[in-house]
């Protein structure tokens, strides 16, 4: 399943980002996904839940922002916008001037845009340093 190889590194990256910043409990990961990636939400969420177990991401939500596929014409500047379905088999020659010199300028994105988390002092109380010197085993 194609989603597996996409979701696994994203979870790893987000978990490392959380740990590097001392975040224990992530509530949401925001992801930008270009339409060129043929991702089925159902599988993405399934793998996300599976891989996030035991990491700071466990129980968090994944929000995906879809980014359209955009081609820009080098000759006239015309931009053509596709989603995943309209792009399948589409001609990428410029629809305005007919030039074949068009380049994809967006639609390949696959990046973490941000993570939302509970501030450390909201998720649990820091254990107070013990000043108790008395006692000892009785």
Binding-site residues for Ni(2+) sit at 2
Shortest distance in whole angstroms from residue 72 CB to Zn ion: 9
Contact 27, 61 (CB under 8 A): yes
CA distance 109 to 67: 7
Distance CA 5, CA 37 (A): 12
Report the C-alpha gap between 86 and 65 in whole angstroms. 18
Which residues in this chain contact Zn ion in the complex, by CB under 5 A? 73, 75-76, 78, 94, 96-97, 99
CA distance 37 to 71: 16
In terms of CB distance, is 27 or 99 closer to Zn ion? 99
CB of 14 to Zn ion, least distance (A): 39
- The CB-of-78 to Zn ion minimum distance in angstroms stands at 4
Cβ distance to Zn ion smaller for residue 41 or 91: 91
CB of 96 to Zn ion, least distance (A): 5
Q: State the binding site for Zn(2+).
A: 73, 76, 94, 97
Nearer residue to Zn ion within complex by CB, 64 or 70: 70
Residue list, annotated binding site:
2, 73, 76, 94, 97
- Residue closer to Zn ion by CB (options 60, 102) is 102
Neighbour tally for 128: CB within 10 Å:
6
For 41, what's the count of Cα atoms within 13 Å in the CB-facing half-sphere? 6
Residue 121 tokens read as 């002092």
């Amino acid at each position: 399943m194609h989603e597996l190889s996409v979701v696994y590194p994203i979870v790893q990256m987000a978990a490392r980002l959380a740990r590097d910043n001392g975040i224990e409990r992530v509530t949401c990961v925001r992801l930008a996904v270009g339409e060129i990636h043929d991702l089925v939400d159902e599988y993405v969420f399934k793998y996300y839940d599976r891989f996030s177990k035991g990491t700071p991401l466990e129980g968090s939500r994944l929000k995906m922002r879809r980014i359209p596929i955009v081609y820009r014409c080098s000759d006239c500047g015309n931009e053509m916008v596709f989603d995943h379905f309209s792009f399948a088999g589409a001609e990428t020659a410029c629809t305005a001037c007919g030039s074949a010199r068009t380049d994809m300028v967006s639609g390949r994105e696959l990046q973490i845009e941000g993570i939302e988390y509970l501030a450390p002092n909201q998720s649990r109380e820091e254990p107070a340093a013990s000043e108790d010197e008395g006692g000892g085993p009785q």
